[in-house]
Every structure is written in C-alpha cells, then in structure tokens.
Amino acid sequence: MFQVSHNIQQIIIEIKNELHTLDRFVVAQENKYKQVIRELKAGHKTSHWIWYIFPQLKQLGKTQKARFYGIQNIEEAREYLQHPLLNQRLRECVQILNGLENKTAEFIFNGYPDDVKFHACMTLFSKAAEDNEVFVQALQKYFGGKEDKATLTLLEAE
C-alpha cells in the first residue's frame, strides 16, 4: 500500500515539475485557444485565460494561477519566443488586437487587472524579442507607447 502511495506521489511531483516548463502554457491553451481567438476578434474578453495567453513576469502575480503561469525572467521570455507554437500564438493574438479599431485595452480586457497584465506582457516581450515590432505596436496603440513600469523595474533588477 505504501509503495503505491509513494509511486503516485512521485508521479504527481513529476507532472508538476513538467508543467513548470513551457509545456504548462501549451497544455492550458490546448482547449481554449479557438475561443481566445474568437473573443479577441470580437474585441472583448469574456472568459478566463489571460495568464497563459499573455503571460507576465511571475513576480507581478498576485494569485496562485498568475504565479504558476508567470515568466521567471527575460531568459524564460526568450525561450517562450523560441517555442514555435507559443511564439506563433502570442504574435497572432497581438496582431489581432493591433488590427482592432476604436477599442481600448480597458474595454477589451474588462479593465483592471487584465488590462494591466496585457500591458506587462507587451512590455516583457518587447524587451525579450529581437523582432519586437508587434509588441511595440501594441504598446503604442493601447498605452501611448509607454512601457509597464513594474515590469521594467523587475527586468532592470535582473
């Protein structure tokens, strides 16, 4: 009996460790991504997915879910951008938002805190990406070109 329990605990630990890699985003996005695209194209977020679609630095997270999907540092952000699926999806989502007319981040994301999370995400990836135009465009369109100060402070401390 103990052996079975021990094996189950080990499996749980291994699964948790695996999900702390970038795979945690792929797993989370798998069944939600089509809905995310529909909501973004409509210009209004109606369900809960901000953490794993527009991740921010882990240190900015206030909830367990925000910290779980938080990006550790600029190196992990660069790894995210090197992941073929995650990079493509992040850029697709931002391009959709950049193409919207007459919408604010506050409206699209139902205000605080998701508009702030989007701002932090765009700042992080504008700094992490070599080809950062899409993120810079989002910062310009939705935040007057201003970067998220909290994200900048954390990046400068690295």
CATH of the domain at 74: 1.25.40.380
Total domain count, the chain: 1
Contact at 8 Å (CB) between 87 and 95? no
pLDDT in tens, 70-118: 999 999 999 999 999 999 999 999 999 999 999 999 999 999 999 999 9
Domain limits at 152? 2-157
Contact at 8 Å (CB) between 151 and 135? no
Query: Across-strand partners of 71?
Result: 57
pLDDT in tens, 114-139: 999 999 999 999 999 999 999 999 99
Determine the pLDDT at residue 8: 59
